[in-house]
Amino acid sequence: MLTEATPGQRSALPVVLVSMPFMAPHHPSIQLGLLKSLAARCGFPSRTLHANLDFAVRIGMESYELLWQHRGAMVGDWLFSLEAFPGTAPDPQARMIEDLACGLSYLGASPDEMREKLLRIRTIDVPTYLDELVSTFPWEEVAVVGFSSTFQQNAASFALARRLKQRHPRIVTVFGGANFDDEMGPELVRTVDCIDVAVIGEGDETFPRLLNALAAGTDLDAVPGLARRLDGHVKLTPLTSATVQLDDLPAPDYEEYFQHAEDLGILPRVGHRNVWLPIETARGCWWGAKHHCTFCGLNGTTMSFRPKSPGRVLDELTSQARRYRSFRFEAVDNIMDMAYLTKLLPVLVENETGYEIFYEVKASLKREQLRLMAQAGVTSIQPGIESLSSNVLRLMRKGVRAIQNVNLLRWAHYYDMDVGWNLLWGFPGETEQDYTEQATAIPHLLHLQPPSSTNRIWLERFSPLFNERDTFPLRHRTPERSYRYVYPDDVDLERIAYFFDYDLEDGLPDSTYAGIRGAAADWSNAWRVDRPPVLKYWSAPHFIQIYDERQHGQGGTYTFEDTLADLYLACSNRPTTAAAVRRELDLCLPVEAVQEVFEEFQKRGLMFLDGQFALALALPAVKAR
Amino acid sequence: MANLEFSRQEIVNLTRRVSNVDPPLSERETTLLLAIFAAAADRATPVGLGGGATLPGFEIRNPPAAARTEREMTLSDLQQQLLNAYIPGSNPDPVIPYKVVGVPVGWPPPPPPPPPENGD
């Protein structure tokens, strides 16, 4: 039974929530903002501290950007490992710089410059930063320090917690976030002694209950979802299923972020801010709950989909825009609720709001849905395209065909939406043909937005590739190599790693992907010019002209009349089949002849064919209807 | 409308097109068409030595709204059009030359004076 703390006890438990490097510097942490609001709602004096900003300023924004954006070797954690694990850090001699040199090329310096730079940050900037952080903040007034840790925030958080515990032993350190989900949290609690308590799983209910127990001085055993050391062992209180209703959560409090970022000169002090405000309109993944994409480790143990009501989202957009003077919103959702297409976005259109919104979406969106989104202010999307091969998409359980991905790229481009997407390979069961076909098709797609990155898939904890060993046999699986340069020997890396190195039983050699890698590079290069590639059409009844300048300086025009024009235009809005087009146009031509025409269009790079489906590739020249 | 001049080859071509109509014409439709051709032949005036002829001018009244089906082509027609569809040549987005000269004071201009009434 949980004893409620009195208001006096609560007000005597000041809480600071900290975001350490390497969290993104250009927007506030929604984790901190939400926990701050939750703590404040329960009567606890609370504030946030975006300490990541101080470090970004110290080492220079350019270097910080490279480090926080990187999702490969754990360089960020490595930089803080000496301070996180003094005396037991595994790499005081900085062997990682040489051992993983090929994985550090993203830092963009010569090997000597890179070594010097990393060593300077590790041995000078990091300790100085931590000293200043401990000495300039009134920690003596603080009872609880909460750390939210995702990706490479562990070591920096441990480093600060260690110093705080040394100087202010009565401070209770609480850790949580994605890095503490499932078995990762208990293992870190077991091996990192500056962690007093860890919240395992979602913290919306657990964190306020933990604060209540600390304020009331009651046993933490009554708080579900906690891990802590007790008598030399890790004690884990039973987890509760994620049942929090998102409408019940307060709006995140970003006040301190803006104050701090403006004080440090990261953001200008201006009347109108152009900052992407994180907003959570849903948690979990409705697609993943039905068909978990084989490579995806997001959502950890909480896949069930829980959206906010449209009314609540509208209210939050309004109140956050007014409060922080920015109209840009980055939805942190893993996937947009399809119900918003009928219940939220039309209201935004009707209200003529001036928001710019980013959403992750399913790639099967249709033209009219993308048009609505654009009208509602969704200017940027991440559709999870991942491949232009229907066979590979089937293997990854994506639930879309390549032709739907292409159609999404088309209409998103037409409606001026920025599309962030990746081209991935390395899936069990894929064939060489899957990649030769993609490499052949890519030159026809140059007028569409190219992938942001191309790579072999990572093996992530919680993904089906990780969990379903029988379905996806691996020759070997070990924690990603750089973890061993960060964590001491007594940390079981198998239990704390999120990324893993692996070899598939039936994996294709790297040479298989040379063609698609080269085609994708050409695609990206084609967009690094003032005048990106073009494939557009003008049409009148039974007449179409298509202007093709996908190859720079090699423009030309196709003119089609009557049946040919009708056939092409019938495949423009969405993927369709020869039989359906024949019916729609009431043609006398046999289906085989229609299919033959589609193949002729494909030969000219004017159509994308995928099984029995066909899609015109050109976009209307007239914007945007 | 001026008289219609045509050649023997055009008649041959037309006959071939009619025989290829899909679905084929019924017997009655074919008979009707031949009768029309025969009547037209009676009115044709031969010109020159090339087998050509002229017909008196005519006017098409109430053309069918859905003319598209008449333009539907055979696969070989489509393939032919595909072969000839491409014309190379860059078509950069044109920069339309224009100049804003400003709006004259008092715009819009006052209405013109009314025309003099008859009898003034």
Contact by Cβ (8 Å): A395, A294: yes
Residues A574, A527: Cα–Cα separation, whole Å:
25
| Residue B73: band (very low, low, confident or very high) from pLDDT cuts 50, 70, 90 | confident
Which residues are registered as beta bridge partners of A378? A357
Whether this model's ipTM surpasses 0.85 comes out as no
- A560: nearest CB among B81, B88, B89: B81
Q: Which CATH architecture has domain A7-59+128-236?
A: 3-Layer(aba) Sandwich (3.40)
Instruction: Give A315-348 pLDDT, tens digit per residue.
Output: 999 999 999 999 999 999 999 999 999 999 999 9
Dihedral pair phi/psi, residue A45, rounded to 5° = -65, 120
* Range B94-111 average pLDDT: 44
**Residue A197 burial (CB count, 10 A):** 24
Least trusted range by pLDDT, from A87-96, A240-249, A413-422:
A240-249
Pairwise CA distance, residues A61 & A406, whole Å: 36
Q: Which two tokens stand for residue A523?
A: 């695609």
What is the C-alpha separation between A411 and A365, in angstroms, rounded? 9
Closest residue in A to B24 (Cα) is A588
Distance from CA of A558 to the nearest CA of B (A): 4
* Helix or strand holding residue A229 (H, E): strand A226-230
pLDDT given for residue A239 in this prediction: 87
Q: Which residues of A touch B87 (CB under 8 A)?
A: 556-559
Q: Can you tell me whether residue A411 is helix, strand or coil? A: helix
A270-526: which CATH number, 3.20.20.70, 3.20.20.140, 1.20.1740.10, 3.80.30.20? 3.80.30.20
* Phi, psi of A430, deg, nearest 5: -70, 160
B71, A564: Cβ pair inside 8 Å? no
| Closest-CA residue to A85 (of A187, A191, A6) | A191
| pLDDT exceeds 60 at position B60 | no
> Strand locations in B7-66, DSSP E?
45-47, 52-55
Q: Which residues of A touch B81 (CB under 8 A)?
A: 560-561, 564
- 3-class secondary structure, A105: helix
Residues of B in contact with A531 (CB under 8 A): 92
| Nearest chain B CA: its distance from A390 CA (Å) | 28
Domain boundaries of chain B, sorted by first residue: 1-60
Contact state of A557 with B89 under an 8 Å Cβ cutoff: yes
**Which residues from chain B sit within 8 angstroms of residue A542, using beta carbons?**
68, 71
Given a cut of 90, whether residue A600 has pLDDT beyond it is: yes
- Count H helices, E strands: chain A? 26, 26
pLDDT at B115 over 70: no
* Location of structure tokens 């720079």: A552
B74 vs A contacts (CB less than 8 Å)? 589
Q: Least CB-CB distance to A587: which of B72, B86, B87? A: B72
Of the candidates A394, A477, A463, which has an alpha carbon nearest to the alpha carbon of residue A430? A394
Q: What is the pLDDT of residue A38?
A: 98
Q: Which of B17, B72, B80 to mutate to test the interface with A (most CBs of A within 10 A)?
A: B72
Pair B47, B54: CB distance under 8 Å: yes
pTM above 0.80, yes or no: yes
Which of B22, B74, B91 shows the shortest C-beta gap to A557? B91
Between the alpha carbon of residue A44 and those of residues A7, A143, A253, B99, the distances in Å are 9, 11, 14, 65
pLDDT for the residue numbered B96: 44
pLDDT at A611: 97
Domain ranges of chain A: 7-59+128-236, 270-526, 534-620
Nearest chain A Cα to B21, which residue?
A588
Residues in chain B with CB shorter than 8 Å from the CB of A544 are: none
Average pLDDT over residues A214-222: 95
Per-residue pLDDT of A57-108, as tens digits, reads: 999 999 999 999 887 899 999 999 999 999 999 999 999 999 998 878 777 7
Q: Which CATH number fits domain A534-620: 3.40.50.300, 1.20.1050.10, 2.60.40.10, 1.10.10.10?
A: 1.10.10.10
Of B23, B82, B90, the CB nearest to A555: B90
Q: What percent of chain A has pLDDT over 90?
A: 87
Confidence at residue A1, expressed as pLDDT on a 0 to 100 scale? 56
Half-sphere exposure of B21 (CA within 13 A, CB side): 12
Q: How many residues does chain B have?
A: 120
Among B20, B68, B74, B76, the strongest candidate for a mutation testing the A interface, having the largest count of A CBs within 10 A, is B68
Are the beta carbons of A556 and B69 separated by less than 8 Å?
Answer: no
**Each residue of B57-93: b (16+ CB within 10 Å) or e?**
eeeeeeeeeeebeeebbebeebbebbeebeeeeeeee
* Interface mutation vs chain A, best among B77, B82, B83, most A CBs within 10 Å: B82
Q: Do B90 and A563 touch (CB under 8 A)?
A: no
Task: Identify the pLDDT of residue A560.
Answer: 97
User: A605: closest CA among A525, A560, A521, A548?
Assistant: A548
Write out pLDDT tens, residues A18-52: 999 999 999 999 999 999 999 999 999 999 999 99
Which of residues 599 through 618 in chain A touch B, CB cutoff 8 A?
600-601, 604
- Any CB–CB contact under 8 A between A553 and chain B? yes
- pLDDT tens digit sequence for A302-311: 778 999 999 9
**Integer Cα distance of B120 and B118 in angstroms:** 6
Taking only residues 43 to 102 of chain B, the set having a beta carbon closer than 8 angstroms to any beta carbon of chain A reads 68-69, 71-75, 77-79, 81-82, 85-92
- Rounded mean pLDDT, A108-113: 81
